[in-house]
Amino acid sequence: MMTQTAEKPAAARFSVTAWRDHDDEARTLPGMALGTIDLPAATGETCDGLWRLGARRVALHEPVDLAADGPAAARRTVDLLCLVRELTARAVHVDWDLRLPAEDGAERWKLLSHLHPPRRIDGVPDPDAALYAWRTHHYLCKFVWRQGPGFVQIRDRRWGELRRFTTDEPAYHAAISALDLGTGHHEIPPPVLADLTGEHLVLRVGDLAWWLPYRVNRWLQEAMAI
């Protein structure tokens, strides 16, 4: 089993605006606005707290910038992606903006198409077409993973058909745990990282590697049908 030696990244702080309803008209009604909320970290536990508070729509105060340079920028980008991923997993409407590197933005947005659609995309040749495709083809549980007794299963529908991956190897389980919040790519055994990246399960952001799918939180339909 892989031994993880990297220190756990320090918790980042985020400010978001939240409402009790996702509908544009309903959120203007008295009592629907939850105001600005400071979050200690971009984790599932943090997003569970927002849900319990009543948040059903959340707006980020800064863009998710995959075109930014430097280790600090990469860390911030991955933290923000974690926040969008965990809110999406809880069926929360997320208002966010996405900046992509122009050299591969046309393809990279598809890797993120399981997340709640952004308000805006920069860095693609035809942003309106990309946003339209993202919004019209998005649904809950499009790209998820779940952990059973001794195995992990990933279900990926980003490409139009179901791609299913199952592993019972401890090295992969350890890698997923390390990648969940983003970790240095050198902290993952190269053959494992190559396999996960080759199947488009991992996103590289600078020197960091980040686990793309979200863990099953709310099924789109009855679990037995999944």
**Is the separation of the CB atoms in 217 and 85 below 8 Å?**
no
Whole-number pLDDT of residue 13: 86
Q: Checking DSSP bridges between strand 151-156 and strand 163-167, what pairing results, if any? A: antiparallel
**pTM confidence score:** 0.90
Q: Checking DSSP bridges between strand 208-211 and strand 202-205, what pairing results, if any? A: antiparallel
Task: Judge residue 190's burial from the number of C-beta atoms within 10 Å of its C-beta, 0-12 exposed, 13-18 middle, 19 or more buried.
Answer: exposed
Whole-number pLDDT of residue 219: 57
- pLDDT by 10s per residue, the chain, length 226: 333 334 444 445 889 999 999 999 999 999 999 999 999 999 999 999 999 999 999 999 999 999 999 999 999 999 999 999 999 999 999 999 999 998 887 788 999 999 999 999 999 999 999 999 999 999 999 999 998 899 999 999 999 999 999 999 999 999 999 999 999 999 999 999 999 999 999 999 999 999 999 997 655 555 444 4
Whole-number pLDDT of residue 162: 95
How far is the C-alpha of 73 from the C-alpha of 171, rounded, in Å?
A: 29
